RNA sequence: UCCGCGUUAGCUCAAUGGUAGAGCAUGCGGCUGUUAACCGCAGGGUUGCAGGUUCGAGUCCUGCACGCGGAGCCA
């Protein structure tokens, strides 16, 4: 057995005991005959104190020579220590070097983004990145827990698809044997709809791909999306669910990842406010807000990034904007019976300028109307025959939405850029490491 | 695709058109409570690439490459 006797996060249960820890050297400070080694093991950080007069010469020699990010094993006695990070310290008895690291590129000073991105495989070891990745994991778990405990069934759509879901965005093209071109999915929604007709309430959760030449802090070419789809839900039911969902995610992270949020210096008072009910405004009301704020906005257009910021700044909670002009929305969205120019769509804008994190709608459930929409959007109907079947065989009103995982992580962590919200971001000018 | 900014030591950055420097990292030495520790010494450069102007270019001009930010588009 080579695994350590205990992990750093559990040291509080071992005060006064001798333990063996294994990990990497995060940083080292020294003051003559006493050396301070900060070990990280993935679960946390602990300061190991090596005093020359208390250890064998060869142990002190190792403490002297060990370099940043070298892997090592340490035997020592756990002691409470208010001065140290984490509140506990290890009085070192023995040290074993596992592998010496030489010239680790990421030093304890500042680095530029290009360098850090080139070294992303090492950058993920840094404190801030570790905190973000732990929060990302907790968000993913919260998402799954939320749906799993409410009668939803996980329904995995294909990644390789024969056509565009929405027909507009650019797709990544691949050669698919003798069948010609295929594409990487940009949404699992249409497939999720078939799942909803089979299982009632489903969600899909996986990577999606957009070959848009976007070059902003809000875009990745590969990102993760969770897409619930519910039979017998109208737009209001859909919004109720989205609201409860977001509250659950944010409050869960606040409860369970407080340490990590602190490490990121996140202003948690902003997150505390994310509780139901969220403001709900119509597209028309949003346009009014823009005009009051001096934006010369043309009715019928979609909101740009700057517009979204202005709208969301009016509120300290996520704001739900519903009933958009049908022209700017996808073909599958149902029109508002009260006003056929409007689609029963909803976007949820995160506060603090983080923009759209959810897009959803009630789906068109009438066969003839949907065929008409496909024609209007100049989409090849033959590719959508299977989708039309969902309206031929027991069509029901249904709704769903998609939540962008990285945008959610970015917002909750208070990040400047989406690229830190995923281990290995894929962007227009970067697909390495 | 368009607009703006940038590219100097391993990293982060300085340097009126006139001998390329500092901090971190690395190596050596010092310090028994350090918190991005500190102090001393040392090594480390084809100034992104290709041209041009000039007695002289890191600095000015042209082109290219790469990066960053933004627009459009979107989660």
Q: What is the pLDDT of residues A308-340, one digit of tens each?
A: 999 998 999 999 999 999 988 989 999 999 999
Q: Using the CA of A107, which nucleotide's C1' is the nearest one?
A: B25
Whether the predicted pLDDT of A176 surpasses 60: yes
Q: What are the tens digits of pLDDT across the range A122-135?
A: 999 999 999 999 99
Q: Provide mean pLDDT across the span A23-37.
A: 91
Structure tokens of A250? 């944010």
What crossing angle do the helices spanning A127-148 and A235-256 adopt, rounded to 10°? 140
Residue A360 confidence class, pLDDT cut points 50, 70, 90:
very high
Placement of tokens 């007069």 in the chain: A53
Return d(Cα A399, Cα A290) in angstroms, integer: 28
Q: Is residue A87 part of a domain?
A: yes
Q: Using the CA of A100, which nucleotide's C1' is the nearest one?
A: B26
Return d(Cα A391, Cα A393) in angstroms, integer: 6
Same domain for A302 and A200: yes
Q: Is residue A345 part of a domain?
A: yes
Whether the predicted pLDDT of A168 surpasses 50: no
Count of CB atoms situated within 10 Å of the CB of A65: 10
Whether the predicted pLDDT of A86 surpasses 90: no
Structure tokens of A192? 């999720």
Q: Provide mean pLDDT across the span A366-376.
A: 94
Q: Is residue A114 part of a domain?
A: no
Q: Provide mean pLDDT across the span A161-188.
A: 79
Whether the predicted pLDDT of A413 surpasses 90: yes
Whether the predicted pLDDT of A167 surpasses 60: no
Residue A169 confidence class, pLDDT cut points 50, 70, 90:
low
Count of CB atoms situated within 10 Å of the CB of A293: 13
- CA of A218 vs C1' of B21, distance in Å? 39
Q: Is residue A3 part of a domain?
A: no
Q: Using the CA of A117, which nucleotide's C1' is the nearest one?
A: B67
Same domain for A219 and A354: yes
Question: What is the average pLDDT value for chain A, to the nearest integer?
Answer: 92
Query: How, if at all, do strands A160-161 and A222-231 pair?
Result: unpaired
CATH no. for residue A82? 2.40.50.140
Q: Could you say which nucleotides of strand B lie within 7 A of any protein CB atom?
A: 1-2, 10-13, 23-27, 30-38, 66-75
Per-residue model confidence (pLDDT) at position A192? 96
Same domain for A150 and A252: yes
- CA of A310 vs C1' of B27, distance in Å? 55
**Which backbone phi and psi does A121 adopt, to 5 degrees?**
-65, -25
Per-residue model confidence (pLDDT) at position A396? 98
Per-residue model confidence (pLDDT) at position A15? 95
| Percent over 70 (pLDDT), chain A | 98
Element (H, E) at A260: helix A258-263
CATH no. for residue A318? 3.30.930.10
Q: Which residue has the higher pLDDT, A346 or A84?
A: A346
Per-residue model confidence (pLDDT) at position A2? 82
In order, the DSSP letters of A143-196 are HHHHHHTTT-EE-PPPSEESS-SSSSS---EEE-GGG-EEEE-S--HHHHHHHH
Which residue has its C-alpha nearest to nucleotide B69's C1'?
Answer: A216
Same domain for A309 and A223: yes
Same domain for A124 and A94: no
Of A415, A403, A405, nearest to A354 (Cα)?
A415
Instruction: Tell me the ipTM for this assembly.
Output: 0.87
Whether the predicted pLDDT of A1 surpasses 80: no
Per-residue model confidence (pLDDT) at position A164? 55
CA distances A216 to A165, A213, A297, A305, A418, Å, are 23, 10, 22, 10, 9
Q: Provide mean pLDDT across the span A5-20.
A: 94
Cis peptide before A277 (omega within 30 of 0): yes
Q: What is the dihedral of CA A112, A118, A120, A123, to 10 degrees?
A: -40
Q: Provide mean pLDDT across the span A14-25.
A: 95
Same domain for A296 and A390: yes
Return d(Cα A252, Cα A238) in angstroms, integer: 21
Same domain for A49 and A128: no
Same domain for A217 and A265: yes
- CA of A109 vs C1' of B21, distance in Å? 19
Please, which residues have CB within 8 angstroms of residue A4's CB and are 6 or more apart in sequence? A19, A20, A21, A22, A23, A41, A73
Query: How, if at all, do strands A222-231 and A398-404 pair?
Result: antiparallel
Q: Is residue A199 part of a domain?
A: yes
Same domain for A147 and A50: no
Per-residue model confidence (pLDDT) at position A85? 81
Q: Is residue A283 part of a domain?
A: yes
Distance, first Cα to last Cα, chain A:
33
Cis peptide before A229 (omega within 30 of 0): no
- Whether residue A227 contacts residue A204, with contact meaning beta carbons closer than 8 Å, is answered with yes
Whether the predicted pLDDT of A385 surpasses 80: yes
Q: What are the tens digits of pLDDT across the range A254-305?
A: 999 999 999 999 999 999 999 999 999 999 999 999 999 888 888 988 898 8
CA distances A333 to A80, A205, A411, A429, Å, are 60, 21, 27, 33
Q: Using the CA of A51, which nucleotide's C1' is the nearest one?
A: B32
Q: What are the tens digits of pLDDT across the range A48-79?
A: 999 999 999 999 999 998 999 999 999 999 99
Same domain for A276 and A181: yes
Residue A425 confidence class, pLDDT cut points 50, 70, 90:
very high
Same domain for A271 and A135: yes
Task: Tell me how many domains chain A contains.
Answer: 2
Return d(Cα A401, Cα A345) in angstroms, integer: 9
Q: Using the CA of A26, which nucleotide's C1' is the nearest one?
A: B36
Return d(Cα A51, Cα A36) in angstroms, integer: 9
Same domain for A287 and A244: yes
| Percent over 90 (pLDDT), chain A | 71
- CA of A107 vs C1' of B21, distance in Å? 21
Domain coverage including residue A176: 120-421
Among A43, A64, A99, where does a domain finish? A99
What crossing angle do the helices spanning A127-148 and A405-413 adopt, rounded to 10°? 120
- CA of A115 vs C1' of B6, distance in Å? 14
- CA of A324 vs C1' of B27, distance in Å? 66
Residue A82 confidence class, pLDDT cut points 50, 70, 90:
confident
Q: Using the CA of A429, which nucleotide's C1' is the nearest one?
A: B67
Q: Is residue A115 part of a domain?
A: no
Q: Is residue A427 part of a domain?
A: no
């Amino acid at each position: 057995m080579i695994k350590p006797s205990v992990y750093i996060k559990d040291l509080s249960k071992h005060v006064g005991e001798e333990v063996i820890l294994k990990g990497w050297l995060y940083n080292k400070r020294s003051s003559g005959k006493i050396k301070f080694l900060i070990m990280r093991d993935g679960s946390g950080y602990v300061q190991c104190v090596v005093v020359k007069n208390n250890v064998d010469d060869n142990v002190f020699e190792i403490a002297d020579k060990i370099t940043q990010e070298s892997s090592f094993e340490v035997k020592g006695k756990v002691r409470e220590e208010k001065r140290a990070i984490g509140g506990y310290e290890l009085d070192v008895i023995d040290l074993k070097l596992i592998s010496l690291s030489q010239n680790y590129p990421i030093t304890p000073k500042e680095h530029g983004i290009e360098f850090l991105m080139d070294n992303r495989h090492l950058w993920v070891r840094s404190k801030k990145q570790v905190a973000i990745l732990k929060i990302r994991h907790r968000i993913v778990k919260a998402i799954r827990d939320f749906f799993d405990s409410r009668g939803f069934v996980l329904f995995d759509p294909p990644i390789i698809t024969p056509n565009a879901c929405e027909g507009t965005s650019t797709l990544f093209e691949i050669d698919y044997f003798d069948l010609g071109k295929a594409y990487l999915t940009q949404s699992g929604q249409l497939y999720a709809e078939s799942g909803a007709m089979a299982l009632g309430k489903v969600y899909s959760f996986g990577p999606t791909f957009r070959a848009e030449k976007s070059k902003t802090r809000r875009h990745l070419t590969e990102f993760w999306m969770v897409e619930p789809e519910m039979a017998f839900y109208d737009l209001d039911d859909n919004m109720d669910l989205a609201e409860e969902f977001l509250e659950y995610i944010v409050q869960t992270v606040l409860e369970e990842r407080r340490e990590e949020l602190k490490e990121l210096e996140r202003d948690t008072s902003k997150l505390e406010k994310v509780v139901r009910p969220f403001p709900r405004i119509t597209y028309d009301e949003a346009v009014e807000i823009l005009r009051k704020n001096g934006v010369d906005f043309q009715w019928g257009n979609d909101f740009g990034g700057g517009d979204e910021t202005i709208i969301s700044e009016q509120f300290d909670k996520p704001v739900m904007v519903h009933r958009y002009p049908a022209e700017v929305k996808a073909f599958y969205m149902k029109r508002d019976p009260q006003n056929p120019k409007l689609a029963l769509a909803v976007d949820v804008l995160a506060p603090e300028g983080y923009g759209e994190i959810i897009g959803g709608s009630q789906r068109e459930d009438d066969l003839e109307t949907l065929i008409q929409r496909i024609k209007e959007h100049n989409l090849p109907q033959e590719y959508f025959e299977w989708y039309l079947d969902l309206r031929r065989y027991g069509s029901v009103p249904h709704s769903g939405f998609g939540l962008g995982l990285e945008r959610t992580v970015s917002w909750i962590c208070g990040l400047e850029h989406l690229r830190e919200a995923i281990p290995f971001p894929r962007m227009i000018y970067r697909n390495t490491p």
